[in-house]
Amino acid sequence: MNKQILFLLFFLISFNSTSQVPTNTISIIPQPVHILKGTGHFTFPKEVLIHAPDSPELVKTISILSERLSLPTGYQVSSANSSNGATIKLLLNDSDDSQLGKEGYTLSVTHTGIKIKANKPAGLFYGVQTLLQLLPSQIESKVLIKNINWVVPIVEIQDFPKLGWRGLMFDVARHFFTKDEVKQYIDAMSKYKYNVLHLHLTDDEGWRIEIKGYPKLTEIGAWNVKREGEFGDFIPPLANEPRNYGGFYTQEDIKELVRYAKDRFIEIMPEVDVPGHSLAAIASYPELSCTPDAVNYKVRSGEKIMDWSGGATPKALLDNTLCPANELAYSFMDSVISQLATLFPFEYIHLGGDEAPINFWQKNEQIKALMAREGIKNSTEVQGYFTRRVEKIVESKGKKMMAWDEVLEGGVSPTTAVMSWRGMKYGIEAALNKHEVVMSPTTYAYLDYMQSDVISEPRVYASLRLNKSYEFEPVPEGVDPQYIKGGQANLWTEQVYTIRQAEYMTWPRAFAIAESVWSPKDKKNWPEFFSRVEEHFKRLDFSETKYSPAVYDPIFKVGKTSDNKLTIDLSLEVEGLDIYYSFDNSFPDRFYPKYMGTLTAPIDAKQLKLITYKDKVPVGRMLTMPIADLKRRARL
């Protein structure tokens, strides 16, 4: 009898006895492929024994599980030499279960113990993450929790990922995050079965990785003048202001981060963004540019360097590109790529390729000579020439190149993998042309976007709410799925100064992306998903991880009456909430007027204050919306 029949038999036997178990007793993110709930619970003994195969790849998994169990419970957790009598058994299958693949697992909780089985150590690690999510939310605490029963429900789970690439991009270039902060980010993403950390290591604001032979990259390129406010509109630094804000990772730091991630079955993909977004490199080594004035350039501190008024193609106010007609740029890239290939075992190196301005190229004599010599027709093809040359360097180091979707426009080898960020259409185009594709569209997966109204978020040019992120489907209809490697969410950090704000911008939207890249499409259900998200809010509280409550914030829609009075309509992402409001400058609670339909602003009102409640408990933030702002939106 095969495993699928056994699984179905368990379901048929269990159905009558489990039908009355509340649906919210198990809140796992991402949602497993199959969950069969039984009756009752397994109670952890005060001496927990873990049995696991003798494998170097599992040493850290056992250590993580032991620490996660012992800290909040105070229980003694130790390894068992034999599976007999073990509380938790981690077992590798004698022969591979083809359905589980390399990352799948089965988890069985009975009244007598817990068993996790997988084909490979990665599957056991993911099974451990699921087991921890079956425990009470207090298991996330870093300190002892008293007077609690540590139990898990009786359950059978079979689980495996939909996609092989489940990524988060962390921009450490715009603002530097320490090695320990990156580890903190890795810890959080590992709990939700992410397996790729894309590190954006270089940009106009900083070069964050030590490159032997190019010491100025970190002596000069890693530092700028700290500015706070709205990024992009900062006052340009004065000559006498100290450039002491920033930092970088030594090569030993990188090796440590790679090991740390690998222990959690996460690969780190480095990105060096070229030929655009390269001001930090050019400020360090002006000879990499074609523009003579580059000798005066400084690492950007957030002042305006691009004019976006013309649309999607930026006009550079200074030349932040490596020069495609400059052979020094290619010897530089050869050295950088060679060292990246040595430091990062992952098969891909990301070389950016996005938002490269062409206005300096158009008037440059070296570029014109290159175009004449190579038969290049326009500036877009100039970037294509650069991309193909650096791709050959990547391949010479035994790696594969990945780049943002703009590289499609200049012509690129089919062996280049494409990360589609400007919506889904470029990923579809790339897949139809047989490129490997990772979908990371702004539409669903840009974590730097505001999560709520601008009155409550750091101002960014777009917004992305949780329910929209949950709509992400990385494998579009009509595309051969073999070319869709997976999906990814991107956290750009222009407006993110601290790891706390990085957490706030990541969670809970990264829950939605995790489910989109792991769980079967037919398992996705927004109301049910959000009920699980609320349970994980409790977990984040206990782990002292910051997250955004923006999902509870009202959405504003304004209009005007025939006699030019302001009207305000409010809506919510989730059901079951009540909105209370005031126009009199006082702070509303649930004894104030409840929103029941369109509001008309009183003639002299200066602000609208709102708060959301659920079951008589405030869950939303107290929001203050200036009436003048609403009038501007209504064009009054």
Residue 32 has pLDDT above 70, yes or no: yes
- Listed as own residue / partner, the contacts of 2-8 with beta carbons closer than 8 Å and 24 or more positions apart are 3/97, 3/99, 4/99, 7/34, 7/36, 7/156, 7/158
pLDDT for 309 equals 81
Residue 411 has pLDDT above 90, yes or no: no
Question: CATH 2.60.40 occupies which residues in the chain?
Answer: 553-633
Give the type of residue at 285: Y
Length of the chain equals 636
Mean pLDDT of 102-112: 97
Residue of 97, 156, 203, 205 with catalytic role: 203
Q: What is the pLDDT of residues 51-68, one digit of tens each?
A: 999 999 999 999 999 999
Question: CATH 3.20.20.80 occupies which residues in the chain?
Answer: 165-543
CA torsion through residues 520, 524, 507, 348, sign: positive
Q: What is the pLDDT of residues 430-478, one digit of tens each?
A: 999 999 999 999 999 999 999 999 999 988 989 999 999 999 999 999 9
pLDDT for 14 equals 41
pLDDT for 458 equals 87
Q: What is the pLDDT of residues 206-229, one digit of tens each?
A: 999 999 999 999 999 999 999 998
pLDDT for 255 equals 98
* Direct distance between the N- and C-terminal alpha carbons of the chain, in angstroms, rounded to an integer: 72
Nearest-angstrom CA–CA distance, 513 and 166:
9
Based on the residue annotation, tell me whether 473 is a catalytic residue of this protein. Answer: no
Could you give the count of Cα atoms lying within 13 Å of 545 in the half-sphere of its Cβ?
25
pLDDT for 141 equals 97
DSSP assignment of 242-282, as one string?
A: ---EE--B-HHHHHHHHHHHHTTT-EEEEEEEESSS-HHHH
In terms of CATH, what superfamily is 3-159? Chitobiase/beta-hexosaminidase domain 2-like (3.30.379.10)
Q: What is the pLDDT of residues 225-266, one digit of tens each?
A: 999 988 988 999 999 999 999 999 999 999 999 999 999 999
Q: What is the pLDDT of residues 356-405, one digit of tens each?
A: 999 999 999 999 999 999 999 998 899 999 999 999 999 999 999 999 99
161, 133 Cβ separation under 8 angstroms: no
Kindly report which listed range (5-19, 267-281, 398-412, 549-563) carries the lowest average pLDDT score. 5-19
Residue 22 has pLDDT above 80, yes or no: no
The percentage of residues in the chain with a pLDDT greater than 90, rounded to a whole number, is: 91
Place 20 in a pLDDT band, splitting at 50, 70 and 90. Answer: very low
Both tokens of 209, joined, read: 């990785």
Based on the residue annotation, tell me whether 277 is a catalytic residue of this protein. Answer: yes
SS3 92: strand
Q: What is the pLDDT of residues 265-323, one digit of tens each?
A: 999 999 999 999 999 999 999 999 999 999 999 999 999 999 988 766 789 999 999 99
Q: What is the pLDDT of residues 485-537, one digit of tens each?
A: 999 999 999 999 999 999 999 999 999 999 999 999 999 999 999 999 999 99
Nearest-angstrom CA–CA distance, 443 and 475:
14
pLDDT for 8 equals 45
Place 2 in a pLDDT band, splitting at 50, 70 and 90. Answer: low
Both tokens of 597, joined, read: 């339909």
Both tokens of 14, joined, read: 């269990």
- Write down the residue that tokens 């869709």 correspond to: 484
Cβ contacts of 13 within 8 Å, gap of 6 or more: none
Beta bridge partners of 206: 203
Q: What is the pLDDT of residues 592-618, one digit of tens each?
A: 999 999 999 999 999 999 999 999 999
Fold that domain 165-543 belongs to in CATH: TIM Barrel (3.20.20)
pLDDT for 636 equals 86
Q: What is the pLDDT of residues 148-157, one digit of tens each?
A: 999 999 999 9
pLDDT for 622 equals 97
Domain 553-633, CATH among 3.30.390, 2.60.40, 1.10.3470, 3.30.70: 2.60.40
pLDDT for 6 equals 46
Residue of 51, 198, 200, 277 with catalytic role: 277
Residue of 241, 263, 355, 381 with catalytic role: 355
Nearest-angstrom CA–CA distance, 492 and 172:
8
DSSP-derived secondary structure letter, 10: H
Based on the residue annotation, tell me whether 51 is a catalytic residue of this protein. Answer: no
Question: CATH 3.30.379.10 occupies which residues in the chain?
Answer: 3-159
Q: What is the pLDDT of residues 123-135, one digit of tens each?
A: 999 999 999 999 9
